[in-house]
Amino acid sequence: MNQNRVSQEIESLREQIRHHDWRYYVLNQPEISDTEYDRLMERLRDLEEKHPELITEDSPTRRVSGAPLSGFSVIAHETPMLSLANTYSREELGEFDQRVKKGLSGERYEYVVELKFDGVAVSLVYESGSFVQGSTRGDGFHGDDITANLKTIRSIPIRLISSQQSAIPKRMEVRGEVFIDRRSFDRINRERQNAEEEPFANPRNAAAGSLKLLDPAQVAQRPLDIFLYACLASEGIPATHIETLDLLSRLGFKVNPNRMLCQGIDQVIEYCDLWEDRRKDLPYDIDGMVIKVNDFGQQARLGATSKNPRWAISYKFPARQATTKLLDISLQVGRTGAITPVAILEPVELSGTTVSRATLHNADEILRKDIRVGDRVIIEKGGEIIPKVVQPVISVRTGNEIEFRMPGECPVCGGGVIRLPGEAAYRCISVNCPAQVERVIQHFASRDAMDIEGLGPALIKQLLSEGLIKDYAGIYALNEKRGQLLQLERMAEKSVQNLLDGIEKSKGRPLGAFIFALGIRHVGRVAAETLARRFGCIEALSVADDEELEKIPEIGPVMAESIRAFFKSERTRSVLSKLLDHRVGRCEGKGVESAAGEGLKRKSFVFTGSMLAFTRTEAQDIVRRAGGQVMTTVGKKTDYVVAGDDPGSKLAKAQKLGITILNEEEFLQMIEPFITEIHLH
């Protein structure tokens, strides 16, 4: 295929994909199946990889590209992103209307009323129809440049619809609100809990936290969406706000359909009242309505204060609250060991449901609000989803209320409780706490940890319920319980033998994997490898003090305290002793750093193509354990590109940047000194 035909096919694919993105993410009216869409995208990726010179920044394949950012640069807004003043009653809306009437000296005017989304305000800049820059609101005058993160949001067009080209201003700024719908928010929080991360408090926090991630690839995993509600340009914009919203829709932007042109403040109030009742039916959160003077000329004449425009205002819905009695405060131990106080309430109706439990967040929050057992308390649904205790009604106290104190022992297992610097949560650190033991064992047996073949979540649950294991040390005594294993559901002679073989094989796992498997809070895979290289033996690590740990550049004070607390626990020492008795967690002598000098320290590698001697994951593990860094993209800071069979576009980019390229044989020669040291399996 000649270059001209390739170029034409690439542009045709891009147009088709943009059209289907618009139909799916903006209109919610897909025309093709997911499989057909994936084929289009795969064909485009294939052509662009073979012809990197034809890649453009507005290609649909460029939504997630580049290495993680080291931070966000600050940019100035050409027009300040002012916040809206708030009103909370019909009377205050009437006062706003009187100010508008006075400011316009008797002119006739109209209002546009829209939903007030509970999300994160952003600015998008387009030049000649292409998205070139995006930023947060910041302080209204300066915001963070989050262009790369905003490109991952599929409802934001990277290039505007070509059929509307004549209507597109040469340069335009569009403003909107990034949000996460409630169903997606619930899914994110379930995933975070499974990954031992703190759940987000509400969808707005989830959206804000996602936009501040430094790796666009991570942002792309979050279900962010957007509604656009304003457009600024020097030319080509209609004279009114309502017409501009229609223009944005025609250009391919996602504009919320729930809006109304009102002829007076009474009609505005009626529309606000309507949505106060209807908001519970929406799939996303709103916390009020926005009222704007429709005519842009009138907006200009009304002007703004230093903080707020005089031509627009926000009407905030009253929080839906109820009052009830706090009967008790119970403590829940989560799968990560976090101990969370929960309010046990006298049942009360709130927003259509009966509420008998509510979150109290943490001990600091209880102390700050002075919440006591026996109090009359005000509760509300945060974001209309999660019931929370707002405050006690102190005026009706009898003196019999009981102050809350966080216990020094885990309420489930009686094990030690710690609170690390910078964390609000108290945590149980016992490795055999029943509330978290299932998750702890799953992590211990996982691929990046002890990699025990055949020991999956379902079998772990069976082993625990049958009392065959109580902690992860018990795994290594299962060879003495073959008969009981054969009695388990779906366990025959062959599957039992495979399990026992997998358990025996895991004893040869490297020390870094073993340290990671122990599940020490804040100690991930990379930190575990660092500790293995530094100490070379689990016994040496278990007695290291804070000063010794903090001397290691990658280990900060929070991680050091977490490591010390873990090994100080009597229960940890007991389980660790049983593991060592089974010859699990072997010493590795001096470790890679001292045995091989600096190793590959401060050297960065990118892999492309397939290798014969190792899988790509194995090769990357060797580099990491020898002190090197593995990168996913080629950049100026890349030291080596390892090119196997059938390399992709990374090879061409490395050649263009003059980066050292290693074939598989050259790479093997480089890593040979480290292979024995890291016990590759």
Contact predicate 599/674, CB 8 Å: yes
Nearest-Å Rg of the Cα atoms of the chain is 30
d(CA 295, CA 311): 10
d(CA 131, CA 152): 12
Using alpha carbons, list the distances in angstroms from residue 531 to 277, 280, 596, 671.
57, 51, 16, 20
d(CA 545, CA 535): 12
CB atoms within 10 A of CB 299: 19
482 by DSSP, 3-state: which?
Answer: helix
122 by DSSP, 3-state: which?
Answer: strand
91, with CB counted inside 10 A (0-12, 13-18, 19+), is exposed
d(CA 14, CA 161): 11
d(CA 469, CA 111): 68
Tell me the residue type at 342.
V
d(CA 279, CA 580): 59
134 by DSSP, 3-state: which?
Answer: strand
Q: Has 381 been annotated as catalytic? A: no
Q: What is the DSSP letter of 477?
A: G
> If you search the block for the tokens 């706490």, which residue do you land on?
433
Tokens at 672, concatenated: 């040979």
Q: Which of 50, 102, 116, 151 is catalytic?
A: 116
352, with CB counted inside 10 A (0-12, 13-18, 19+), is exposed
For residue 113, report the phi and psi dihedrals to the nearest 5 degrees: -115, 130
CB atoms within 10 A of CB 4: 8
Tell me the residue type at 265.
I
> If you search the block for the tokens 């932007």, which residue do you land on?
253
Contact predicate 194/212, CB 8 Å: no
In this structure, the strands spanning 120-127 and 171-179 are antiparallel
Residues 6+ apart with CB under 8 A from 477: 469, 582
Tokens at 37, concatenated: 């869409």
d(CA 447, CA 670): 26
Using alpha carbons, list the distances in angstroms from residue 34 to 42, 355, 387, 505.
12, 40, 37, 42
For residue 436, report the phi and psi dihedrals to the nearest 5 degrees: -130, 0
For residue 274, report the phi and psi dihedrals to the nearest 5 degrees: -60, -45
26, with CB counted inside 10 A (0-12, 13-18, 19+), is buried
DSSP string, 354-407: EEEEEE---HHHHHHHT-EET-EEEEEEETTTEEEEEEE-GGG--S--EE----
Strands (E), 404-551: 417-418, 426-428
CA atoms within 13 A on the CB side of 228: 28
Catalytically annotated residues: 116
